Each structure stands twice: as C-alpha cells, then as structure tokens.
Amino acid sequence: MTDSNDGNALARSKPENTRGRVYTTGSIEEYLKRKRRETEHEEDKSPPQSKKTAKSISEASKEKETTENKERNQDIQELTKMITGMFQQLKDEIKCNNDQLKKNSEDIANLREEIIKREEDWKRERESWVEERETLNKRIQILESKIERQERAEKRNNLILRGADLNLDQDGEQELQSAVAGLIRKELNIDAHIERAYKIGKSQVVVKLNTFENKLQILRAKPKLSGKNIYI
C-alpha cells in the first residue's frame, strides 16, 4: 500500500465534521462497517509482492505498521468523538427530562395547594353559612314568638257575641260598634269601650275592647243574659 493510497483511504474513512450531529449507536456501527469494507477493499487492490531483500521487507513492514497505527489512532479519536457526542446528547436529554420533571412536580404541588385552599375556603363558607342559618332561625323564632304574643295580646281583649237576638244588621264598622255598645249597656248595664267590632257570619260579632279589665267586667255580668238568646 503506497503513501498516496493510504492517504486516500484515510480521507475516505474519516467521517465528516461531527459538530452539531446527533450520534447514535447506529451511526457508530455504520462507521465501523464502512471501515471494515474500506480495509478489505484496499487489501484486494494491493499488488502481489515481488522478491525484496530482508531489509526492504522490514522497512516496508515498519512503514505499514506505522501507517496502520496512525489510522487506528485516528479511528479511535473519531470513535471517541462519537461516544463523547452520544454521552453529551444523553446528558442533555437527562437534564431536559429532569427539568420537565421538576416543572411537573412544581405544577402538581401548586395544584395541591390550590385544592387545599379551595377546600379551606369552602369550609369557611360552609361554617359561615351554617352560622348565618342558625342566626336566621333564631330571628325567625323570635319573630314568631313576638307574633304569637301579639296575637294572644290582641285576642286577650276580644269577646265574641252570638245569638239570634243580637239584631245587629248594621254593615258599617262605626254603626256596628255603636250598636254593640248600646246592646251591652242595655243588657248588662256596662259601658263597653270598644276599639273594633266586625261580623263573622250572620249571627256572630267579634268585639275588641280597649282594656282587659273592661272584658272581665262584661264576663262577670254575662249571667244577666240568662234566658235570652244572646251568648258571650
């Protein structure tokens, strides 16, 4: 193998500039296969050796060994570059994956914090709603109690007159009050201080007096109505 042929073979065997390339195990295997094919091709092209002196053979053998060592060193350097590139790519991918994993972990942590915050807000709102409901229930109970007391207070001074002998045909409220007051004065000899009077049906009249004492006074005197079709 001549120096020119060795140089051409070396030029053919050297891969292109590897900067910015993506190295894979497939690219290394292809490189090794190509080197084996080129070596076999060069050996086939080598002419048969003529008879030489022992010294020439030794020099040629040393020169060939030196050339092969250079080529081997170049191959090792190229393989080293490829392997270094692969490791760098792997390192970059691992870093990218770690960064993405870190971001995903942060997103999950933020989401958990948001869920916890929403649960706490919902819990506070629920407690506030329960407290407000209890407050409203208490207010309703107080109002109902007041209304009940007012109703009892209003009914406390009421009287109901009924009977066929009432003879109260007045429709106006003032006329009805005057007629009821006149009836009580006539039958019981008591002055009734009437605040309001209204009919229930044809033979009943509700009479609201100004004081409870006036009501008691009329109730004590109602035995005078015995034998009459008038009831209190």
| pLDDT (0 to 100) of residue 73 | 82
CA distance 210 to 215: 9
What is the number of H-type helices and E-type strands within the chain? 5, 3
CB atoms within 10 A of CB 230: 20
- The yes-or-no verdict on residue 8 having pLDDT over 50 is no
pTM for the full predicted model = 0.38
CA distance 211 to 192: 10
Q: What is the pLDDT of residues 165-199, one digit of tens each?
A: 666 666 677 888 888 888 888 888 888 888 888 88
Q: Which domains are seen in the chain, by residue range?
A: 3-13+22-43+55-104 (no CATH), 157-225 (3.30.70)
Q: Which SS3 state, helix, strand or coil, does residue 227 take? A: coil
Q: How high is the mean pLDDT of the chain? A: 76
- The tokens describing 46, both together, are 């080598």
Q: Which SS3 state, helix, strand or coil, does residue 105 take? A: helix
- The yes-or-no verdict on residue 115 having pLDDT over 50 is yes
